[in-house]
Structure formats: structure tokens, C-alpha cells
A and B are shown apart, each in its own frame.
Chain A
Amino acid sequence: MPPMSAPPDLRTGTEGVDRRGALKLFAAGAAALATGCRPQEQMLPYVDMPESGASSDAAFFATALPLAGAARGVLVESHQGKPTKVHGNPDHPASLGGTDVFAEAELLALFDPSRSTSPIAGQAPVTWSAAAQRLRAAAGPGTALLTGPVASPTLARQIGALLDEVPGLRWFTERPAQPALEVQAGPGAMDRMQLWPDWDRTDVVVTLGADPLGPGPGQVALTRGWSRSRRNRRSAARLFAFEPVPTLTGTKADYRMAVRPEDLPGIAEALRAALDGGSDVPAPVARAAEALSAAPGRAVVLPGPDLPIETQALIDEINRTLDAPLARLAPAWRWPSLAQEDAGALTDAIASGEVERLVVLGANPAYTLGEAFEEAARDIEILHFGERRDETAAMAALHGPLHHPLEDWSDLRALDGSAALVQPLIEPLHETRSAHEVVEMLRGRTGTGPRALVQETWRAEWGEDFDARWHEALSRGVIEGFPVGTVSPDWPADTAVSETPDGAFAHVRQLSTSVLSGEYAPNGWLQECPAPLTKQVWGNAASFAPVDAERLGIEEGDTVVLRGGGTFARLPAVILSGQAEGTVGTTLGYGRKAAGAIGSGVGMNTAPLGPRVDVERVDGGAELIRTQREFGQHDRDLLRSVTDAEAGLESEHHQPASFYRERDHDSPSWGMVIDTDVCSGCNACMIACQSENNVPVVGPEEVARGRHMHWIRIDTYDLPGEDRRGFQPVPCMHCEKAPCEPACPVAASVHDEQGLNAQVYNRCVGTRFCQANCPYQVRRFNFFDYSDSQAYADLGADLLQAMRNPDVSVRGRGVMEKCTYCVQRIEAANHAASREDRPIADGEVVTACQSACPAEAITFGDVTDPESAVSRAKENPRHYALLEHLGTRPRTTYLARVAPGAEEDEGA
């Protein structure tokens, strides 16, 4: 047992107090419990408390979390003044009730012990008032303000005022992670537009290098829209993907064609020609064109971000011809009324001496702009404000820590143009300030808090109605009637052909599903969240088409060196069937140098390599750490496909008979159905489960040894006969005839009367026989005390104790654990129902994975009620049980993927 340690002082983060101090802290803690450490400023709980939730002391607050600047509305669950879980906000258009990995992981980011805790100048701590003085002195000509993408109307208002007040001050915006479907809409770097499909009116989608289901601020809403159109109008909905490197979108496409990036413009032209009646086009293009023209007003073509501007113009024209249900919106970060410059111009501005001082607010140019920036900016004064002491903070004369969004007041626009208020869930843990306050300091003002600044913005907007609308916006989590800006693209008449650098391979860079563009590198949950297609964790890789790999003699796990853009990256190789020949794919966001104990030195940064690279196989140096190494199904029919959703798998059921008498199951008895047809592999369920169930991180060395703790994993398999992979989320199956239970010598693994396969942690002695005997291998063993004394890196910090879900035990060393179907939520519903003397309603219990899933692929409920959603799903013809022939009678079952029929292929 670890020595009794005092609770940390949340405000200073100090540890190791004496006994007297500990007593004082206990007293303070008791006082904090009585009042809650929630901010005393008026916050408002969410108007409709979700029914599914946690125990009765939980409260929910609506707020918004930024990703690449843009908002996703969330509801944050709070226990005794501490946020413990992020849920989606059904009312917010960028969430619609779902979440993504980044939103779920913000909780860990809030309590992260590697956050910066107080202002510092060089190595010396300074006060915020000293920092404010330096900021004020810095505001003047020759000063540049560099921000991340600013989607906050209040911050934009403040910056506008600042630009007015300080002539000669320039504002640069850094956008390392560009949202999906944000494309060029004119000649300038700031001429961008956000395409936003209306999924209710969209049947046929053709993507040309676009990845709407991939990571980014639009992922949740786009996945939900796509999955609903696919589920509700299966016969009409078709997705065609033309892309160089497999993306989540391409993986879910009905038809997919691997195309080199340089050939994508040609595909667009062929598509145009086919739509015009031309016949001399490749068959896949002809098929896509046929589908497009067969769905007038219900078809869209979605361009990728890297297409040349004339191709963008061509696709825009096709969409207009098709009368595509597609909005052309101003990006959330774009403020046309303000003088806004792209960060790409910053390095030159510094090098030329135009910029002598740099105030960085929530950006990290030393990483995103690379070595050129570091060279140029070495001699100028940098004042850095951010949540962490990152690479830029290391160069800065002054660093001031910013609030985490869960500690801050603000407002944020979403990709669709809607706006929401951001309200704090907890008093700031450290000596941090809001970005709003920092801008005020630049303006020479202090004393106004972020809440007042935000209210000022909206008071001006709403006038008389302010009180009611403020109340409404906070309790709903979305601002009604906010005007949405649209863009009319301005296509240049002719464009200069940009020079293509040398290099044998086209280099396709994608945003990371784990760390996006590097800002989430310090987050342990995300570093250990596997890349959907390769299952790599704790790093990035270079992916190759099988033909290229064979030609270069590369096998999976070998080390390759990519050279381009005057630099190189040493990466492990992976081989992806379905990748275009002559391309190498990498993910961005790795190779951070100052990302805390978790993220520093993980992977390599491939952004500077440029669009073309040379590849060389070398001996060793990069390790491929994965949670799954074998992707073949070996004829085991694990991830099934049907070509006709109506006929389904009816004929294939072969559940064996059992020696044992069937048990009667009392109501409720729980079960789950997972629809593999719409699962897009986004991993949101994994991180949601990790957050809900206090699942620890094990670290790269442990994963390399084959250990991992995720209660729900997503198996990725090659689809037989297709050059792509599919996804199969695997939580505990809660088998009725669970093989794990008879294996346990101490009855730590038992069935309860609600049909749950329960694991009794305090009874478990750790024989691991249950794990050996689980054919689905969903059981997870605490080989070490991963949650506390033997945690990876700094994840055992006392501060993280505050993040735990109080309704779920934290498991110690030597104990088996696994998915419980979120039994704490079931019990909360049981209590609520018995208080009101009624049965639990269908849909009242929502598991964490189900609630997070943006594709609504997971159905959960009472299988003894024939009317419940889960029972109806089990009647679906596509329904099947994994490894059914073993006779385990799993309660978690699947719906098969629907592949386009053979007739359709021939017809096209």
C-alpha cells in the first residue's frame, strides 16, 4: 500500500505536505465538498438532465469545446463540483448527441499534471500583474499577435478592438489542423470556405480526397449525418470515394478507388465529362457519375483539401450543376471584417524585420511552422500564452498559462456557423488566465473577468432580451438565431502552376485520429488510442501500397526513412491494401519535443517533408507498437458482409444446442447490438469508455508487450475479396453461457440477475483463467498498478484522482477487469425507477460507448422486452453473433455490413 498521501492542493499543485498541513487540507476539502469547487459565478445546469446517466449526485452542464478552433457542444457530467465525464449535446448541431475522442479526452487534458501552472519569465516565476505589464508594453507597432483559429465572437471582438487601438499591430492566425470539407475559395490564403452537406437531403456522395468522417471538428456531425442517411435510406444512399491513402471515409464507402493525389484532378475532369454524357471514362468514375445524375438535388461531390484551385472550381461547378444540397459557409475562424493574416506569412515577416515582437496566444508556431520559424524568431521577443509549456514557450521570454476550456468562460462558433457559450465546470486548478483576459492585458486593461467580457459581447447583440437569452443559451448549450455567414467563391481566371518538388513518392499527410495535428500529444488516453486502420499507438508510421512495399522490399514493422523538404523522418512502415501505388501516407501531429512526459519524442513530425518524398529502407530505429498485429479473418467469418440488407444472414444461423436447461431471464436483462455497417472506426467509444470507467493508460512499453486495458476495442479486419478493412467494436459479450465464469476458482466472475457477466474486483485473486478462457479476449488484467503507484509517466499524479468517475472503482494491481455494460448507469436507472416505483423505460440506460458513438451504431437495452430497440435490432436480418458456433450465447451481437450487390456491380 502506498503511504497515505495528503490530497493535493488543487490551486498550487503542491504535494507532500506535513501532517498539520494535511489536516488543514482535509478541513479545506470538507468545506469544498460542502460548497462544491464549482465556480461561484452563476452557471446553469443543462435544461433536460439526461436520464441515462450516473448516480443522483451528478449534474450536467452544457458547454462547448473547441477542436481546431471550432466548437462541439457537450454536456459535462459533474460530481460534487468536479467534472468527470464529457457527453455529447443533442441540441448542438456539431454534436447532435455524439462525441469524438478529443472531446472525451478533454477531461484528462484538464487534470493533466503536465499543464503549466503559473506564469514564468525564463526560469523565474512572475506574477500575472508583471506579465500584464510586459504585455501592455509589448502592444505597439512591430508587434504581431499570433493566435490559433479564433472561433470565439468575443475574442474576435476583443482582437478587433485591439487592432483598432494599436496601429501597426498585426494579427496572424495559425491553423495546423484544417477541418474536413474546408477548401480554398479564392486566391488568397484566407479565402476559404466550409462546405456543409445537408444530410437529410443527401443520398449520393462522391469524395475526391475528402475525409468527412475523419478526425476534426466536423467529424461528429458529419458521421451522424452520413450514418443516418445510410441507415434510413439504405437503398438510395451511396458513397463513392476516390482517394490516395485509405481514410475512414474511404473505408466506409460503397465503392472506393485508390487514386494518386496528382491524378485526382483528372478524376474530377472525367467525372465532369461523364456527367456531360461522355463515355470514355474509367468505369468507377462512370459508375459514380451515373449515381450522381440519378439523384438530382440529392447528390454532392466533396473535394479534398489539397486539390489545386482549378479542380476546386470544377467541383464547385459540378455541385452547382447537380443542385447539390451543400452550404458554402464562412469558416468558423474567419472574421472578414478584421485584418487577419495567415500564419504562413509570419516567418517571412519576422525574417524581414517587419515583426519585432510576437505575442502568441494559444498557438505553437515553433512546432507547426517548424525550424524556419525557430531560426527567424530566435532573436525576437516572444510572449507566449498557452495551456502548456510547449516548444514555443521554451523560446519565449515570458510564458503565461491559459485556462483549459472547462475552466473558462467563452463563446464559440461551430463549423456549421452556429454559436454556443462556454461555461466553466470547475475553478481554475492553477494560476491560469483566460485568453480573453490576456487580450485585455494587451489592450492595457485588467480587472474584467472572462464572463463579463463574454456577456458584454452578447449584451450588445441581444440588448433588452439579454437576461432571458443568456439563461437560455447556457441551459441549452447553443445560441438560437445566430447569423450564419456564407461565402461566394471567387475563382481566379487562371492560376500559376506551382512547382512540384522532386521525390519518387507522393506524400499524403493526414490528421492523426489520436493527436490531431499535435495539440493532443500530451494526452495519454489519445496516445494510446489506436489508429483505426493500422492499430498503431504511441507514434506514427509510413504507409505503403502492397506493390510498392514489395518493390522496395519493405515488410510491416521495418524502418524506413522518408526524405523531402530538406529534412527526413525515420518511421516504421505499415502496408495498407487500398493505398494508391506511388504514395506514402503519414499522419501529422507527432515528433513533439515539448509535450510533457507523455507526448515528447513520440513519433516523427512529417509536416516539413513536403508533398513528395524519397523512401529508403533502413535497419531498425523505429518501433511499430500496435494493439492488433494480424488483420486477416482466416476464413472465420468474423466481420460479415451481406449484399442485400433485406435477405441478410437468415440462413446462416447455427447456434449449437446446449446440455443445460435454458434459464429464465427476469426483466430487465441487458443486451447490446452493434451495427458494423455504420461503425466508422472513429474510436469515440473507446475513449468514452476509458473516461467513464476509469480505464488506465499502460504506456508504449506495455503495449509493445501485448498489454492493453481498453474495455472496448475496435477490431479491424481485411474484408475478404476487397482491398480494404472493416471495423468491429468488441466490448464484453456478456455471454449467457460465459466460458469465463466456470473457470474462476473464487467466483469473482459471476452472472447477476440482470444478465450481466459481472466481475467482482475485490474477490479476484488474479488467476487469469477467465482471460485465457474468453474466446473474445475482452478481459483486461492489471499486470501492474497502472492506475496509481505504477502508472505510466506522470499519470499516477494525485491531481488525476479528481478526474475519476466516483461511481466506478479504480482497480488495483493483480485484478481482472472488463466491460460491465456501464453497470453504474444501470444501477442509477434501477434506483431512479424504484424510487418512482416504475419499470425502467427503454432507452433509459445508455452505455458510455453508445452515448459517444457519432454513428449511433450501438443499441442497448432489455432483451426480454420484445418491443425494446435492442430486441428489434436482434430481429434484423443482418443480425449475427460473433463465434456463435461456440455456444457461448453472447448478449452483445452484431449487424452485418451491407455491401453493394453483385447485380449492381454488373449493371454499372
Chain B
Amino acid sequence: MSEAYIPDARPGAITADVADPILKRGPGRIWWICLVVSLALTGLMVVSLVVLVTGGIGIWGINTSNVWGFALVHYVWWIGIGNAGTLISAMLLLTRQHWRTSINRFAEAMTLFAACIAGLFPIFHLGRPWLFYWLVPYPNTLGLVPQWRSPLVWDFFAIASYILFSLMFWYTGAIPDFATMRDRAKGKIAQIAYGILALGWRGSARHWKIWQSYYGAMAAMGVPLVVSVHSVVGMDYAAGIAPGWNVSIYPPYFVVGAMFSGFAVVVVLAAIFRRALNAAHMITDRHFDVMGKILLTGSLIMTVSYATEWFYAWYSGEHAEQRVVADQLWGDFWPIYWAMLLGNCIFPQLYWIPKMRTNLTATILIAIGINFGMWFERVVITVIPPARGFLPSQWSFYWPTFWDWSLFLGTLGFFTLLFTLFLRVIPAISAHEMKEHLGEEKRT
């Protein structure tokens, strides 16, 4: 691993690497295929939502005992992915990990897109989604305000804050690059559009000082915000009384899980971008090596969390709690639970082997495995406890229907669509930060 994190290049070459794929080169065949496929799947999402709103959420497989099903599975899954971008960007900035400049822009975009998609689920899973704004404290003739003790209200504030925050953080980081695009663009439309986005950025020393002051403070706030957002998501369950949900480990365990799944997606996206942007010198094997180590750490923490749940169940002496864990491990639900353990705990152990971290194929397969594992984890969390509640008379199971699956596939397509467009519009790598750190490694 003699490679550096930061390419040994002139600043002008970085500008060209980042801007030219958008401004000079055509989209290419693969891009068009991605666009068409993702547009089709986005169409499926729209159809699913229209059918959902006109037909009612009864089209899903949820029932009297299993009230949430895929809607919350995918909410948590997407918001988990959405947490990683800001967390990675902010935490690595604070700890001065300069290799972040290769990944932070698209990781933040991933956050933004995933968080927005995640935000769809809590709204559309409502029985009466057109009344979602009742969760907002707004002046109304009924004189009613939200019920502040509800984790869903906390959740609403957390998600709304998080999306707005992420948007500002990401945009602030991208302003200097928009200025670069403005100055490099040849077309009138591109010049005007990037000109507006750049807000007149001139890169003056004063601008940089103010920008840095804000950007650094945002990074410092981003970390506790991300922790709070996913803690609140964990509270959606942990504040509940159902066996398997009422566990105090949920908030931290959700935060780590989110970071874990988000990093895994970043690994996959990094590999794709490296290929798509021809950017092996900017997204290097060393990046994958260090991200592999982080995923390994995440996997170990997840494993400890699962073990803690088993211990809690045993130590609580609560029959219902023990039954949930027993059914997960070797009862009716073992295939889901073991799929989760396989993806989250067992496969990532391969990252102990250095070659596995730098071998792109292996690292991507493991990262995809983690995303499957984390998806199964959300199924385990959302679907099993209500299927094994306090009263055995109400035990039942949730089977997703066509519309459950179609909405999930549709959101995957929508995410792909947003990224496909992102690649053609916005500099996917933070050029100004990369230029700042050029040659740094040689100097130190």
C-alpha cells in the first residue's frame, strides 16, 4: 500500500478530473441504461404510492399485531444509510482525516437522498397521509399542538432538522466547487445555473475564513445531530413497551448500525464512482483499506450489541422478552435472524485479512452483504417483536405483499435516479478540499 490518499497532481488536473466528466464528456451508454432503469423503477414507486393513497394501507401485509411492516423496515434502513454521509464527513473533518475529501461529497449526497427517501415512509405509512402536517406545531383553529411525549414527534423534529441540516452542510461544502464549475462552464445555461448556485463566490481570503468558521462549526454540530437522529429512531422502538423493543441499548445500537450500513453503502458507491469517473487516483485502494477497517469495527460493535440483547433477555427474567430472543435464534424466525448475523457479524470478519480490504471485488461483496444484513436486522427489529407480543393469543406474522416490495424496489430506483442525475450535474468529489491537501502527505 504505497499509494497515497491524495493524488500527486497539479490543482488544474484535479479541476479537470472533477469538472470535465460533467462539462465536457457525454454521459455514456451505461449512464443512459442507469437512467432508464432507474426512471422505470421510480415510475413503479409513483404507482405504488398512488395505489397506496387511493386504496389505503391495507394493500400492504400489515395486520392488527404487526402494525408497521416494511414501511418502518425501510424507513429505518434508508435513514441508517442516510446517517453515514454526514457522520463520515463531519467526524472525519473534525479528526482531520484528509482522505475524506475523496468521498465526502457523494457520501453527503447519499445522506441527503437517503434521508429524503426515508422521510417518505413515515408520511406514506400513515392511515391518512394527507394529514401528516398535524405533527407540525402550526397555528390552527382547533388549538391543538403535537403531543410532545410521542417518539414520533421527536422523530419528526429529528428527521426534518437532519434533512435541512444535511442540505446546508452539503451545499456549503459545495459552493466553492460550484464556483469552479461556473468559471469552467462554456454553455450559457450551465454558466447561469452554476453561477446562481455559487452565489458569487470569489474565493477571497475573507470568504474562506468565514466559510471555514461555519463549515467547521457545522461539522462539530453534525456529529451530535447524527447521533441524536438515530437515537430518536431507536427511541421509536425503545420507548415502546413491546418485548424486544423496550431495550435501553437501542439508541446507541441504532447509531452504530446506521454508521455501519451507511459506510457499507459508501464503499459500494465509491467503487462505482471510481469506475464511472475513472478516478482510481482519487479514490485509492488505501481508501478501501481504511473503510474496511471501519466496517470491521462496526461489525464487532454490532455483534456485541446482539449479544447484549441476548443477555438482557436472559437477565430480565421476563418470559416475553426471552421468547422473542429464543424465536429469533432458533424459533420460527431463525432464517431472518441468521441472515442478519451472517451479513453483519460473520462475513465482515473477512476484513481481518488485509487483502480482503484492498481487493475491490471482495470488499464490495462484503459491503453488499452488510447491507443485506442490516436490511434483515431492520426486519428482525420491526417485524418479530410485535409477532411475539405479551399475549400469545395475538401472535401472528407479517407477510409482505406485492405493494410492499414494489415500494421498496421503487425507492431503490429513485435513489439510483437521483445519483445518476447527481453524477451529471454536481462535482462528485470535493475539488477545492482535495486541492487544499495536495502534496500534504509529501510535506509531512
Pair B150/A745 contact, Cβ less than 8 Å: yes
Total count of chain A residues near the partner, CB < 8 A: 54
Pair B67/A813 contact, Cβ less than 8 Å: no
Q: Could you say which residues of chain A place their CB within 8 Å of the CB of B139?
A: none
Pair A745/B156 contact, Cβ less than 8 Å: yes
A765 partner, pick from B127, B241, B393, beta carbons under 8 A: B127
Pair B127/A772 contact, Cβ less than 8 Å: no
- The interface size bin for chain B is 35 or more
CB distance from A547 to the nearest CB of B (A): 24
Q: Does A782 contact B (CB under 8 A)?
A: yes
Given the known inter-chain contacts A742-B147, A744-B150, A816-B127, please indicate yes or no for A636 contacting B241, CB distance below 8 A: no
CB distance from B365 to the nearest CB of A (A): 36
Q: Does A773 contact B (CB under 8 A)?
A: yes
A777 partner, pick from B55, B129, B391, beta carbons under 8 A: B391
Q: Could you say which residues of chain B place their CB within 8 Å of the CB of A636?
A: 319-320, 390, 392
Pair B392/A772 contact, Cβ less than 8 Å: no
Q: Does B138 contact A (CB under 8 A)?
A: no
Q: Does B394 contact A (CB under 8 A)?
A: yes
Of the candidate stretches A519-527, A626-634, A794-802, the one touching chain B is: A626-634
Given the known inter-chain contacts A766-B128, A772-B386, A777-B389, please indicate yes or no for A743 contacting B150, CB distance below 8 A: yes
Q: Could you say which residues of chain B place their CB within 8 Å of the CB of A768?
A: 62, 67-68, 127
Of the candidate stretches A298-306, A336-344, A590-598, A703-711, the one touching chain B is: A703-711
Of the candidate stretches A45-53, A443-451, A783-791, A897-905, the one touching chain B is: A783-791
Q: Does A635 contact B (CB under 8 A)?
A: yes
Q: Does A423 contact B (CB under 8 A)?
A: no
Q: Does A716 contact B (CB under 8 A)?
A: yes
A-B contact count (CB 8 A): 161
Q: Could you say which residues of chain B place their CB within 8 Å of the CB of A883?
A: 390-391
CB distance from B149 to the nearest CB of A (A): 4
Which B376-397 residues have a C-beta within 8 angstroms of A? 386, 389-397
Taken together as a complex, chains A and B put the C-alpha atoms of A237 and B207 apart, in Å, by 93
Pick from B61, B68, B241 the residue with the most CB of A within 10 Å: B241
Residue in B closest to A704 when the chains form the complex, CB atoms: B63
Given the known inter-chain contacts A745-B146, A765-B126, A783-B56, please indicate yes or no for A708 contacting B64, CB distance below 8 A: yes
Pair A775/B58 contact, Cβ less than 8 Å: no
CB distance from B422 to the nearest CB of A (A): 32
Given the known inter-chain contacts A635-B319, A783-B58, please indicate yes or no for A772 contacting B391, CB distance below 8 A: no
Q: Could you say which residues of chain A place their CB within 8 Å of the CB of B150?
A: 742-745, 769
Q: Could you say which residues of chain A place their CB within 8 Å of the CB of B147?
A: 742, 744-747
Pair A814/B392 contact, Cβ less than 8 Å: no
Pair B151/A706 contact, Cβ less than 8 Å: no
A705 partner, pick from B63, B125, B386, B395, beta carbons under 8 A: B63
Pair B242/A775 contact, Cβ less than 8 Å: yes
Taken together as a complex, chains A and B put the C-alpha atoms of A717 and B149 apart, in Å, by 35
Q: Does B132 contact A (CB under 8 A)?
A: yes
Q: Does A87 contact B (CB under 8 A)?
A: no
Q: Could you say which residues of chain B place their CB within 8 Å of the CB of A739?
A: 240-241
CB distance from A626 to the nearest CB of B (A): 9
Taken together as a complex, chains A and B put the C-alpha atoms of A716 and B394 apart, in Å, by 11
Pick from B65, B125, B156, B392 the residue with the most CB of A within 10 Å: B392
CB distance from B20 to the nearest CB of A (A): 48
Q: Does A767 contact B (CB under 8 A)?
A: yes
Pair B395/A630 contact, Cβ less than 8 Å: yes
CB distance from A534 to the nearest CB of B (A): 13
Pair B64/A632 contact, Cβ less than 8 Å: no
Given the known inter-chain contacts A745-B152, A769-B150, A773-B241, please indicate yes or no for A628 contacting B126, CB distance below 8 A: no
Given the known inter-chain contacts A636-B320, A706-B66, A790-B56, please indicate yes or no for A715 contacting B391, CB distance below 8 A: yes
Q: Does B189 contact A (CB under 8 A)?
A: no
Pair A785/B144 contact, Cβ less than 8 Å: no
Q: Could you say which residues of chain A place their CB within 8 Å of the CB of B56?
A: 782-785, 790, 813-814
Q: Could you say which residues of chain B place their CB within 8 Å of the CB of A471?
A: none
CB distance from A819 to the nearest CB of B (A): 14
Residue in A closest to B71 when the chains form the complex, CB atoms: A768
Residue in B closest to A760 when the chains form the complex, CB atoms: B144
Q: Does A886 contact B (CB under 8 A)?
A: yes
Q: Does B435 contact A (CB under 8 A)?
A: no
Given the known inter-chain contacts A706-B64, A746-B147, please indicate yes or no for A815 contacting B128, CB distance below 8 A: yes
Given the known inter-chain contacts A630-B395, A777-B65, please indicate yes or no for A746 contacting B144, CB distance below 8 A: yes
Q: Does A771 contact B (CB under 8 A)?
A: yes
A764 partner, pick from B127, B236, B392, B394, beta carbons under 8 A: B127
Residue in B closest to A639 when the chains form the complex, CB atoms: B393
Which B386-423 residues have a C-beta within 8 angstroms of A? 386, 389-399
Q: Could you say which residues of chain A place their CB within 8 Å of the CB of B396?
A: 629, 706
Which A714-733 residues have a C-beta within 8 angstroms of B? 715-717, 730
Which B55-79 residues have a C-beta within 8 angstroms of A? 55-58, 61-68
Taken together as a complex, chains A and B put the C-alpha atoms of A785 and B55 apart, in Å, by 9
Which B135-166 residues have a C-beta within 8 angstroms of A? 135, 144, 146-147, 149-153, 156
Pair B323/A782 contact, Cβ less than 8 Å: no
Q: Could you say which residues of chain B place their CB within 8 Å of the CB of A781?
A: 64, 67, 127
Pick from A632, A706, A707, A715 the residue with the most CB of B within 10 Å: A706
Taken together as a complex, chains A and B put the C-alpha atoms of A783 and B323 apart, in Å, by 29
Given the known inter-chain contacts A630-B392, A790-B56, please indicate yes or no for A814 contacting B153, CB distance below 8 A: no
Q: Does B131 contact A (CB under 8 A)?
A: yes
Pair A814/B395 contact, Cβ less than 8 Å: no
Pair B128/A764 contact, Cβ less than 8 Å: yes
Given the known inter-chain contacts A707-B63, A784-B58, please indicate yes or no for A886 contacting B241, CB distance below 8 A: yes
Q: Which A residues contact B (CB, under 8 angstroms)?
A: 628-636, 638, 702, 705-708, 713, 715-717, 730, 739, 742-747, 763-769, 771-773, 775-777, 780-785, 790, 813-816, 883, 886, 888
| Given A742-B150, A783-B62; 13 other pairs, CB 8 A cutoff | A636-B392, A705-B63, A706-B63, A744-B152, A745-B156, A746-B135, A747-B144, A765-B127, A765-B131, A767-B126, A772-B68, A780-B64, A886-B390
List 30 A–B pairs whose Cβ atoms lie within 8 Å, in order of A's numbering: A629-B395, A629-B396, A630-B393, A634-B323, A706-B396, A706-B398, A708-B64, A716-B393, A717-B392, A717-B393, A730-B391, A742-B149, A745-B146, A745-B153, A763-B134, A763-B144, A765-B127, A765-B129, A765-B131, A765-B135, A768-B67, A772-B68, A772-B386, A775-B241, A775-B390, A784-B58, A813-B58, A814-B57, A814-B127, A883-B391
